[in-house]
Amino acid sequence: MKAIGIDHVVLRVSDLERSMAFYRDVLGLTLDRRRDDLGLIHMRAGCSFVDLVDVAGELGQRGGSAAGAQRRNMDHLCLRVENFDETRIAAELEALGVTIGEVDVRYGATGDGVSMYLTDPDGNGVEIRG
């Protein structure tokens, strides 16, 4: 068996609509499918998904309490983006009210590259890299 990429990441969130708006309007993912009966939204990021699960919904309740300051659903999600321009992306994010954290060169699946770190509305870490 050989992994060839990430199929999906599932994030348990406290407000589905707010999180969907963040991943759509701020990070450029698109809505692929909704499963309101399960409290599940599939957001497309290229050939991968970021699945958003309502912590109060059928699937979300299986994971216990929502993430908070001392506990998280995960450390971070890394999204590869096309046409990475640190200055332009930082300006766009800041105009949307997003605080940018650390910016540094890091090693990832495609080698060394500039990474920008931020958090989503539930405090989940998001890394953006070219």
Q: Any residues with CB less than 8 A from the CB of 66 and at least 6 apart, and which?
A: 12, 13, 14, 55, 122
d(CA 77, CA 64): 20
The pair of structure tokens assigned to 41 is 């939204």
The CATH code that applies to domain 8-63+73-129 is: 3.10.180.10
CA angle 80, 84, 90 (to 5 degrees): 105
- pLDDT the model gives residue 72: 64
pLDDT, one tens digit per residue, over 69-124 is: 666 666 688 888 888 899 999 999 999 999 999 899 987 877 888 889 999 888 88
> Residue 126 and residue 23: Cα distance in Å, rounded?
10
Which pTM value belongs to this model? 0.74
Helix (H, G, I), strand (E, B) or coil at 84: coil
